[in-house]
Each structure stands twice: as structure tokens, then as C-alpha cells.
Structure 1
Amino acid sequence: MFIPDPLPSERDQRRTVPSRCEYGSSERPRRNADDRRIIHDFQVRSHLRVAEGEVQTLRTNSCHLQDEMEMTQEYVSQLQRNLSSVLQEYRHLHDTLIPGLRYNQNQHQGALQVIERQRQQQRSKRSKLEEQYRNFLKGNVLIPRTSDLLMDCAAADQDLAMLCPFCPPRWRIYELSCYLQSEEAQNWEESLSWCRERGGFLAVVNDEEEQNFLEGFVNVTAWIGLSDHHREGNWRWVDGTPYESTTWVWGPEQPNNDGDEDCVTLSPASQWSDEECSEKYTSVCERRADQLSLKGVILSN
């Protein structure tokens, strides 16, 4: 590297540069030339120092650039390694996973097609069932399991069917009979007609259990279907049941036939009493309960 000579000091310049007394007017051009040369050398040296600074800066920047280039190369190498890893993973996915996924997709599509066929079959079955249900309703009536019609069902011997006795509205069921008490008081003959109009007859007491039921059923004195108005002392039930075959539940000193008392009444929690048939009491009607046969979920008459 070129290193310029150091500038002469002011003392050296005073020593080398002749004073004005040492040369005459003929030496003045020479002096001017020396001055210009000195100034030029000074400027050159100044430029050289500036150039040296710039060179040093360039060297520093070059080092920094070299470091950055090395870092960039390392980064590029890392990117290349990452790219290689990504490409390797992509080849793995492309060669193994993607075919598996495509296979699973095909399997699922086949399963979906099967499900769709089954769905269509179920729709067809549902349509047929709905049609059968509509046809069934045309000839049948749906009855809830909580219906009164099913409250007194009992097992029958034949075909595992259940027999379900039931009564019309306002009638009370007991065993296989229905009972209804009138609200209006009438004589015995009127009561007999009133019961017949409703499909029944004045109540016939067949046993003690039925008597106990009727004693709890009636709320006021009521006519029952026993009388001897055809012939005194010949007691007969209105439905033809033999008097001797039934339970006799006469009250104390009854029957007494006091004043031509030929018809019989029953009072709440009490026994029989013979009364004049023209007296007016309510009446207890009896009729046979209707029955339905319950087999499985089918109820038929």
C-alpha cells in the first residue's frame, strides 16, 4: 500500500524556504512554483487520508457483507433441507396415505349407496304400513289401554284371550252385570218400565255378595225386581229367576204385607222391605254387561 511522505513541519518549511531577502525578484516565479507544489502535495495527502478512511470503511462493510453472505448461505441450506423434508413427506403422503384415503372414500361411498337403498326400502315399507293403518282404521276403532272398557278384563280359558265386560255411561259394573239408580221416584210398575226402556230390568239379588254391593250402591230407598202382586206369598223375580234359588235378605219382621204390600225395596246399608207397589221410590236397574274379547292388542266383540 502506498504511504505518502509526512508533510514537513512549519519549522522545516521555515528552514527550507528562503526568506524574501535571500533571493531577488528573479527568484519570485520559482517561489510561486514551490508554493503550488506544496499545496498540491498537501491536497494529495488529504485525499489519500480520505481514501484510506473510505478503504477501511469498505473493508469493514466487506466483512459485514461476508458475514451476511455466510448467514444467507446457511439459511439457504436450511431452506433446502426443509424443502427436501417437505418433498419427502409429500412423496410419503402421495404414495401411502392418499391411496388409503381414496380407498376409504370409495368404501364410504359404497356404504352410503347401501344406506340410501335401505332408506328407500324403509320409505317403501313405511308407505305400505301407513296404507295398511288407514285401511285398518276404516274397520276398527283405537281404544287407549287406560280406557274404562279395559278396566275389568279377566282371563278366559280359550286361546289365551281376555274377556272385558263394560257398561254404558252412568252404569256401574259389578261382576258381569251393570247397575243404574234412577234419580226420579216412581211406583213399582213405572220403575219396571223405566228399566226396560234402558235395556234392563229391576235388580235381581242372586247372592249375599250382590246384596252387599247394592247396599253400598244405592243412596236412597229404591225398588228391586221382587214382588208377589200376582199371588200373595208367591214371591217372584222379574227375570224369572226362582225365588228359592236366591239369597233372602229380609229385614226384621219382613215381609209383613201390611196394607197389601206386594213389592220390595232396598235401602242403603239395609235389608229388604215389602211396600205397597203404588208408593214412589227410586229404582235400581240391572242389565247384563256387554263383553269384548281382548287377544294381544286386538279387541273384538
Structure 2
Amino acid sequence: MTDVIQMRGVAKSYQNFQLDHIDLTLPAGEIMGLVGVNGAGKSTTLRILMGLIAPDSGSVNVLGHSLPEQQVEAKRDVGFASEDMRLYKHKNLAWHMNFVQSFFPSWDNRYAQHLAQKFGLPLDQNLKGFSHGQRVKAALLLLLARRPGLLILDEPTTGLDPVARSEVLEELAEVLENENRSVLFSSHNTHDVEQLSDSITFLHDGRVLASEDIESFLEKWRCVRCKGDIDPQALQSSNLAEFRRSGSLINLKLDNYNDSTAAWLQSKGLEVVEVLRMTLEEIFIANVKRGRAQ
């Protein structure tokens, strides 16, 4: 399978932040969620992929084109939307649609009209009268109606009310299900990622903490509740992400849990009381806490 995105050893330094040699691969036709708290490096990573900023070191390839040198060629089939995108507030949506159509032969006007109706967007109203949610949906309309092969979305649902957020996610899910598109989108909301993505990459403090398909994450992570008295140092292993006492119980969050894990814990003198599956949000938090401890 061809990779539509390849980042190898990508680094970028600012006064108070450093993107630390990022490796990231997105195969064609897959949807990846890039998850991290604010300041983790998500937007920096996406801006490098769009050629908006140049890395200090490493290599970047998008749709077979080396960036930033060949960014013009790459952008012909890339749709990019970020939370700080600005539209012309004194122009209406119909004007914006005609403007974008004049640059992109792939523009699908019938689909644009469908999205305008589904999102409840008036074509003849100046955008200065749009709510924040309407402006976000308008930007996504202008992006999706181009029918790009690769979508790069930076926090596409930030600031939306629950209804607008549901509409945007519903339309994205429908587009991604019915068409062979590749998508990389950033979010700090694991629920959005779980709803849309095939795989997920956890980013924290400029570093990739983990990257895998979502089903694998959900399958191998467990919260294990035990009884016993033990020094946490006796349980140190690459699998232990978190150790916490709660009354008479010890809560362990473990990566790479398998059938032999319970026996291993019992050999350490612990009584396994309960083994619980973890949500994607719990896995993300455990990864961040482990990253801080390293």
C-alpha cells in the first residue's frame, strides 16, 4: 500500500518548544487521528505537512512530493482546514464557492449544494453574520467539495456546540465511509477520533508516544485492580503505565496485557480482583502520564 504521508526524523525548534524527530506514516485510504493536549505539537506537525513551515531537519513526503520544495504539486490534491482559517466576512457563501471553484477543476457543485443544505448554510448571507459553528461548516464545505484525495484537518470540531459538532462528524464519517480518501486530523477529543479513525498517534511534548490502529490499543490495554501490599518498584516493566493505590485496592494500568499477565501479578504476591477494558481517553491519559515520567 502506498503511503500518502511520510515523515522521517522531522524536528523543529522554537524558543519554548521542540518537535523532537517525528516519524509518522499514513497509508493510502486510511484515517489517522493525531491526539494530544494543547501544546503537544499537533498544529506544528500539520503545518510542516502543508509546507507552511519548514522543518529544521528530517524529510517530509506528501502524495509522493518532497516538502517544502514540491508543496505546490502536493497541494493540488490536499485539502487543509484549521481552526484559525479566515473567510471573507463581507462576502457570502455563494461567492466563496465560485471563488474556490475557479481554482480547482475537481470542484463538485452538486455536492457543495448538498452540504450547504445539510449544514443549514444560507448561500446569500455575508459570512460576518454566520455563527462560529456556521463558519466552521462553511470552511469544511469549501474543502470537501473540492474532492481532494488527502484531507488534513487541524481540530475540525473545536468550539462547536454539540449539535454542530454532531453534524460535522456525521458528514465527515459519511464522506470517509463512501469514498477512498486518506485523512489525518488532529484533536484533543478522543471521542471524535474513535468515531472516525482507523489508527491513532499520541503526541505529547513534541514526541510521538505511541502509534497504532485503534483496535489494537483497545485490545491490549487493561486496568487491573488488585489486593496486596507491594512496592511499586517490584512491578516496574515496560508494560506498567500507572500505579495507584485506592483504599485497599491497587489500580494498575497496563500496556500489552495478555493471558499470562494475571499469573505474573500473582507471582508478585498480588490478588487480581478485576480486569477492566479501558476507553481510548483513559489510554491517552495513561500514555501522557507515562511520557511525563520518562
Q: Normalized against structure 1, the TM-score is what?
A: 0.18
Q: Which has the larger radius of gyration?
A: 1
Higher relative contact order, structure no. (Cα contacts within 8 Å, ≥ 6 residues apart): 2
